[in-house]
Structure 1
């Protein structure tokens, strides 16, 4: 019985649950669906789509070594996926379709529609757990609900992992050649522009590159990860987020590498390794939240009462933030890093998000959308979770009165201004004290090519606290799924 492997955000041949299962069942054909209209609706970044396509090309080559032809089809919107997959199954006499589960309302609806269409054709659909360590719904509170607090979720995950570490799945052996030609992988999909060569070179495609980055990270930087991860000018992070988001590497591969470095320990041993494992579990936590609380996939706040918060309509300030022209150097440097590289340092994502949602009191959804439109590692669960945490609207969120001061954050985590100088060369002439807050120089700061701050940090902080304090503790309406 011929099998169909439907690739999505799992662009690898190693440790791929669905691919291994399909090839164990019989001769396998693979498919990837181009869905540009859906990607636009999800605000996927052009650099992210380009990264997918470049990795898809590498995947096609690796699948060719296994004699698995990769077919490329188009389903502009996901509501067309059921028809495209059904037609493909009939064309190639497919008996069973394999896929790795994805999460989010639209993803679940798409896969359910495909399942129903295949049922009508008496074709099986097998869904596999691959993106996560644990099936959503299997890590619950004692009352049978999804966790809302990360530390409690992590504790249960640790207990489960101590009992049973998810194993790595071997790369399948090559199958007998099929009389089916692979399709060419497009270099570009309209209307997504191809990013600069410089950006592409920052993010080489392929599993070999992902594994090289993982090996480099666990060889040395992971030991100091707890301290170095907050320094934006330091190469202290794994630089694997884009590869994890596209499924070029799996969380299981990352976990096994960290455990090998840390002699099998999860919550003891090297502090850097345990901190990085915790980051993998944060990623897991936010995907479970998508399933347990689907409203966050629908542009709704996790804390329902905060949907009533009176966000400001300030288009000029929003535009200044989006362009890295706020007059707050650490904010502007972080935004320019994002616009240039498709990536922003994680500490700065929190600082930038708090500045927008607290100091400017602009709706977190504006920031969430802007990030997704520029991030090469854009992921619904992680991006939404991070923005709602910073905006104090989400699960386990920062208390509304805890507002990062961006100048203090800059002084603490970029003390010499190295990161600021890299991205704001117009400030290079300032000393390491003045560079964090040039406006403190008053009239002595006369640089025409760098703006004055668009907001007063102290008064805007008080404005945000008052706006959140005005919300009643009890929701004034109930949101029904």
Structure 2
């Protein structure tokens, strides 16, 4: 008997570890419920619910191949070695197969499990699956991890030209086992289930992920570059939650995009090229996680920015979290997050820059709040995005480039369609006033909408001053 331990790879198709385990003989699958670990990692209740719903779908799909899915409980990952060792003894398991995950805790967990199993004579095999390239294989000429995306992308392009990652064959049905699948819990203590409205936005299962991918590749991908920045338009693939949970693989995404673009990723359809770039950004941030472990430890990628004098302003942070900033584009974006578990990518940058620059609040507060609410929360991408916006990360926005929420709003939601969708109290304003109700005249602007909480010009100056007073990178070099 061989075991596949499923984590963020909740799919039957194009699953490297599952295919490898199946080739060795009879297979059972295991999924661990680890509530205290999820809480420690700030996983959102809607994300945990999405995982469990996908595990249920996968259990049915595996059942058709006579592969039983077992559910075991371990409060934290520290307990994983003991739980898996016990299961392997119980079932006389010869080998355990996993798809690699990245991040310090994930690596430590897998090393501890491998050690415990090997002490019992069970072999542990891990496979490259959620990335195109093994971290550590895409390096600069001096042998270090890239810190700039455009240079990383160039090397990836060269590799993809010579060796496109292949899709992995789906296992065939095996002979029936005596073992029965366990029922998948629908709820986990400590995680309030989301509303049915939110669930309905994110149906579980590979069929849904595939439907979204096919629909995007067939109808939308060509317009992706032009429409992805407009939150009122359906310009994005809506696949991020499925990618984060591994219900669809990056290889499947890459192949679908290449198919629409005659196999090209550097010429042809600009929409397809732009979307493939986004897959490579995802790749880049996971490589950063491995190459620079400090980002897994809540540290700034650029050490000199650790000295920034962030403001301790709980009331301002709460206003941002609760969509009460008085800046419509910020509040509309935050309501979208709170109600749907997702936020449009352009707006993630806008609200992150507002929190870290205009409010001068530590990016870690925003990163944590996003993780606690995002259905597609992913440590590498979320950390990468927050550190980019706050000018503390790789390839980050120069500290003096600060998005103005008003100009972003006027540019990307010019008619206020997105704003009015999430802030119906502003529905009566015309398309000029809706971006800045306070300027609409009247003593208090719109009766039930707050005044802007900061003066954008003054708060911008405050941020610039805080960044200018940082020690230079050279001065910091001796303190790393």
| TM-score, normalized by the shorter chain, greater than 0.5 | yes
1:290-369 to 2 correspondence within 5 Å? 290-369=289-368
- Is the Cα contact below 8 Å between 1:438 and 1:445 reproduced in 2? no
1: distance between equivalents of 2:107 and 2:464? Answer: 37
1: distance between equivalents of 2:31 and 2:367? Answer: 27
2: distance between equivalents of 1:257 and 1:43? Answer: 32
- Is the Cα contact below 8 Å between 1:304 and 1:478 reproduced in 2? no
Matched, 1:452 2:451: yes
Cα RMSD, aligned residues only = 0.9
1: distance between equivalents of 2:72 and 2:477? Answer: 44
The corresponding residue for 2:218 is 219
Instruction: Look up the SS of the partner of 1:189 in the other structure.
Output: coil
1:401-440 to 2 correspondence within 5 Å? 401-440=400-439
Instruction: Look up the SS of the partner of 2:86 in the other structure.
Output: helix
2: distance between equivalents of 1:103 and 1:440? Answer: 48
1: distance between equivalents of 2:46 and 2:311? Answer: 30
2: distance between equivalents of 1:5 and 1:43? Answer: 26
TM-score by length of 2: 0.99
1:147-296 to 2 correspondence within 5 Å? 147-296=146-295
Aligned residue pairs: how many? 479
Give, in angstroms, the shift of residue 441 of structure 1.
2.4
Give, in angstroms, the shift of residue 479 of structure 1.
6.6
Instruction: Look up the SS of the partner of 1:180 in the other structure.
Output: coil
2: distance between equivalents of 1:256 and 1:120? Answer: 40
1: distance between equivalents of 2:333 and 2:360? Answer: 19
The corresponding residue for 2:84 is 85
Instruction: Look up the SS of the partner of 2:164 in the other structure.
Output: coil
The corresponding residue for 2:393 is 394
1: distance between equivalents of 2:36 and 2:477? Answer: 34
1:466-477 to 2 correspondence within 5 Å? 466-473=465-472, 474-476=474-476
1: distance between equivalents of 2:338 and 2:80? Answer: 32
2: distance between equivalents of 1:256 and 1:222? Answer: 13
Gaps of 5+ in 1: none
Instruction: Look up the SS of the partner of 2:5 in the other structure.
Output: strand
2: distance between equivalents of 1:40 and 1:318? Answer: 21
1:116-127 to 2 correspondence within 5 Å? 116-127=115-126
Instruction: Look up the SS of the partner of 2:160 in the other structure.
Output: helix
Give, in angstroms, the shift of residue 478 of structure 1.
5.9
Cα separation, partners in 2 of 1:478 and 1:382, compared to 1, 3 Å? farther
Give, in angstroms, the shift of residue 448 of structure 1.
2.7
Deviations 1:178-209 (A, max 9, x none): 11011000000111011000000000000000
Instruction: Look up the SS of the partner of 1:89 in the other structure.
Output: helix
Gaps of 5+ in 2: none
2: distance between equivalents of 1:227 and 1:201? Answer: 28
2: distance between equivalents of 1:129 and 1:76? Answer: 27
2: distance between equivalents of 1:288 and 1:94? Answer: 32
TM-score by length of 1: 0.99
- Is the Cα contact below 8 Å between 2:11 and 2:247 reproduced in 1? yes
Deviations 1:263-304 (A, max 9, x none): 000111000000000000000000000000000000000000
Instruction: Look up the SS of the partner of 1:18 in the other structure.
Output: helix
1: distance between equivalents of 2:380 and 2:306? Answer: 19
1: distance between equivalents of 2:324 and 2:260? Answer: 42
The corresponding residue for 1:145 is 144
Instruction: Look up the SS of the partner of 1:33 in the other structure.
Output: strand
2: distance between equivalents of 1:263 and 1:81? Answer: 45
The corresponding residue for 1:70 is 69
Deviations 1:78-131 (A, max 9, x none): 010011111110000000000000000000000000011011111100000000
Instruction: Look up the SS of the partner of 2:95 in the other structure.
Output: strand
- Is the Cα contact below 8 Å between 1:69 and 1:182 reproduced in 2? yes
